Structure 1
Amino acid sequence: MLDLFSSGIMSLWLDAAGVRSGMPNAVSLLAWRGGMPGLAVAEDLAFGGIDPANPDLPAVAAVREYLKDLKDKNLIEGNQGIWVQSGMLPLVSQQGTVLMPGASLTKIATSLASLETWGAAYQFETGFRGTGPIRNGVLQGDLVVSGGGDPLFVWEEAIAVGNALNQMGIDRVAGNLVVTGNFRMNYQSDPVAAGEILRQAIESLRWPSEVQAMYSKMAPGTRKPQVTIAGSVIAEKFAREGRLLLKRRSLPLPEILKQMNVHSDNEIAQILADNLGGAQIVQQQATWAAGVPAAELELVNGSGLGVENRMSPRAACAMMQAIARSLQATGLTVADLFPVSGRDKGTLEHRHIPPSAVVKTGTLDTVIALAGAIPTRDRGLVWFAIINRGTDWDSLRAQQDIFLQKLVRQWGTASTLPLAITPHIDGARPALGAANRSDILLGG
């Protein structure tokens, strides 16, 4: 293969595939399209296309039957997109390279861009400074919170902060609570409103029933913090001088992404996209990492809200695979970022997707989408994306599930779960409020 690069043959292959050989990720795109010369991308046929180099007639028949059932039941409107591939080999396509509203499949792009930018070990940091000394349990000055973009700074996280402040001997702040930086509390972006929620969270005597309910689910033995703010909550653009008392590290990025994808949380997705620099940056990062042609991904936000977020089914598969590759050296898998059928609830709670499939759902008024990977005996790990246009959500979801079940019956159930989709993160038990992510820095 190195000889091919040096001889210029690789450049000819890229040009033949419609890829500029000078583009930075051209080799990645070639690998995604098949990985070897002569492996042409499937052309769409009337009811399901097929890669002539890798025919899978049963899969084509399943797609034809699936589309016919949708049509007979009057469930579809406009284009229907399907892409199925085994590993890197395209098997079948129906409008697989056509831009369509992807709904929350957009969160695949947001997940990929987040990993590419920050890495799997990344944790957001929220800093707490004091502008005066601590005397007899009182911080003689202001408590300044400097946000670092944590999208999951919620009640439990604030409770942990309050307990850490108590641990260092602070039970009262004589001054104000000052909010600076990129700080959100319970998704609230207004700094004063976010600060008021934080103030309530660290003073347990002011807890409403909602916080009591959250607290009851935290680790046994977790204390109830009591930190009183004597002054007001104010917002300032620039961080104040003061002694760094405490850093609160967020859940690791993969755990945040798992929560986002299991529950298809639009707020987390948009916060991450904003932290990254906006939808265009997410689009650029995702297309680069996945080798996706720029024409197959168009984003206006990070969540998928709105039909203006469009992608091809092929691009959805490519981005899922790019995430899997990105995680290979981390000990994690794509199943640690997305819901797993039979294991995670959230958007899969009432679905009948084959067990152990790793998927991302998407829903808009006129869009039902699904993408991911299913383990099979004969075809190994099969990656797929389905984008349906229609308004009967329940029926479209049921037909998607039946279609995947047919593919598994055709190719057989995998005898063992592939390592590439073995989960390690339990999405049902995020360690929100864990004390070990508070770094007390009295000497800072």
Structure 2
Amino acid sequence: MAVTRRLLGLGIGLMIVLGRIGWGESSDQSLLFYAETGNEHRVVASQGADQSFNPASVIKVATSLLALETLGPDSRYETNFVCLGQCSIENGLLQGDLVIIGDADPDFHAENAWLVARELALLGINGITGDLVIEGVFFQGWEHGVEKRQTHALRRARLMGGRFQQALDVTRWDRSLHATWDEAATRHGWAPDAKPAISLGETVQMGHGGNAALHPVVRHRSNPLALTLKRFDTFSNNDIIRVADPIGGPTAIERLLEEIAGDLPGEIKVTTASGERVNRLTARQVVKLLWAFEATCREMELDPSDILPVPGCDPGSLPRMFPRLAQGENARTAIVKSGTLTNTDGGVAVLAGFFRSLKGETVAFCVAAPRSGRRLTHFRLAEQDWLLDLMDSVGGAERRICGTGLAYSDTMADARVTRQSVADK
């Protein structure tokens, strides 16, 4: 460790002893890394900086950047709930089909469905006589990324519609939904026994078929995009692909990365917006991405920690993977995004992000362990030690003040009865 600190202190490149795998193993399994200051772009650590590797979930930084630049941090997804048919309310029953017009809200859950249910209850609706119909793209709950999502449109509509039906009818709840309700009711100040009991029938269809008039009922708006991205990045949630798909997906992300990298050497390849499967960047390219991300955040009056997690402040897997970054004197010193693959490309562990030195310099860094296989704990701890040595070499790192805590999917979401709704019929 002392050798590492002396080399860093002299400002020369790191050939870190802890970056080596072990006796008798090939040097191509060394850590790859690159770090530089933001003020003068002074290189403070570099080894294999232009060697391509699979960045795994660090790709989510690029996905978040694309979303911020395309949609804006305050943009919201709007899901409209409308009626098709006679649409009068008789004895608590809405006469017709309930149509969900989805806007691909990537972070709609039972808690959001309950916001809608409370508005339906205000209209005196406790059931519908027709079907539940899905228009556009509607999600409820998680699918867990590219590998597990349902690609058949009708099956996906029935899956998501079924979850919505279940959330609105307490008689269909399982233990998990009861627990989620208790937590949400406490946060919102709802009466614990005011659980929704709205029957939506059994049939879920796609498309309302024809040009029949649709009567507005309730509109739901999501959290602002910045909060949604923070939730995805904190939990490294692979369903961030839902954010990327409507704005160009992997192709747009790869194009953005090429623009940012300019003439830097190394392969750039993006096959998924989540970091699943095979993607390619170099450590130097990742750092260039981080600076572009930081600049966009600054222009939008955001801090990178408004989008990316801070160990010691935010939940998720980072405290478990990098315990010394989340506890003790090193807690709250770094804004990071990790990446992990166990099998693809022989496995990889990646850590990238920012910290601010006690001298006031922001340092961006990326460290990766290609072909790490199933020795993830070993390599994560090596990366953690590498980062702590890097902090020591520049005189230490500032500790950040934690924010208000990670948002829930409904923290700033809202649902409202739509003007000229069925209530006016």
Q: TM-score surpassing 0.5?
A: yes
**Residue of structure 2 in register with 1:181 after alignment:** 136
Identity value in percent: 25
Aligned residue runs from structure 1 range 19-418, under 5 A: 58-60=10-12, 63-66=14-17, 69-72=20-23, 74=25, 77-78=28-29, 80-87=31-38, 88-91=40-43, 92-131=45-84, 132-136=86-90, 137-187=92-142, 189=150, 190-220=156-186, 221-222=189-190, 223-230=194-201, 232-236=203-207, 241-267=213-239, 269-288=240-259, 296-306=267-277, 308-350=278-320, 351=322, 352-353=324-325, 354-356=330-332, 357-365=334-342, 366-378=347-359, 380-389=361-370, 390-391=372-373, 392-414=375-397, 417=400
1:176–1:234: 8 Å Cα contact kept in structure 2? yes
Identify if the C-alpha distance between structure 1 residues 435 and 369 changes in structure 2 by more than 3 Å, giving closer, same or farther: closer
Deviation of the 1:66 alpha carbon = 4.2
Identify if the C-alpha distance between structure 1 residues 315 and 68 changes in structure 2 by more than 3 Å, giving closer, same or farther: closer
What's the CA shift string for 1:364-405, capped at 9, x where partnerless? 121000000122123611110011122211111111111111
My pick for the range that moved more, 72-81 or 340-349, is 72-81
Q: Which amino acid counterpart does residue 331 of structure 1 have in structure 2? A: E
Whole-angstrom distance in 1 between the partners of 2:392 and 2:380 = 19
TM-score, normalised with respect to structure 2? 0.82
1:100–1:311: 8 Å Cα contact kept in structure 2? yes
Identify if the C-alpha distance between structure 1 residues 386 and 410 changes in structure 2 by more than 3 Å, giving closer, same or farther: same
2:33–2:46: 8 Å Cα contact kept in structure 1? yes
Q: Which amino acid counterpart does residue 230 of structure 1 have in structure 2? A: G
2:20–2:29: 8 Å Cα contact kept in structure 1? no
SS at the partner of 2:10?
helix
Q: Which amino acid counterpart does residue 288 of structure 2 have in structure 1? A: A
SS at the partner of 1:96?
coil
What's the CA shift string for 1:332-362, capped at 9, x where partnerless? 2110111102111312122122332000001
Unaligned runs of 5+ in 2: 144-149, 151-155
**Residue of structure 2 in register with 1:426 after alignment:** 405
Q: Which amino acid counterpart does residue 396 of structure 1 have in structure 2? A: F
Q: Which amino acid counterpart does residue 272 of structure 2 have in structure 1? A: N
Q: Which has the higher contact order (CA 8 A, sep 6+)?
A: 2
How many residues matched? 382
Unaligned runs of 5+ in 1: 1-47, 49-54
Q: Which amino acid counterpart does residue 349 of structure 1 have in structure 2? A: P
What's the CA shift string for 1:222-277, capped at 9, x where partnerless? 3422211235211228786411211111121111111111111112x221222223
1:336–1:425: 8 Å Cα contact kept in structure 2? no
Identify if the C-alpha distance between structure 1 residues 182 and 423 changes in structure 2 by more than 3 Å, giving closer, same or farther: farther
SS at the partner of 1:245?
strand
TM-score, normalised with respect to structure 1? 0.79
Q: RMSD across aligned C-alpha pairs, in angstroms?
A: 2.7
Deviation of the 1:434 alpha carbon = 4.7
Whole-angstrom distance in 1 between the partners of 2:286 and 2:294 = 13
SS at the partner of 1:101?
coil
What's the CA shift string for 1:309-331, capped at 9, x where partnerless? 11111221222222222122443
What's the CA shift string for 1:149-190, capped at 9, x where partnerless? 111111111122111211222111111100110111213550
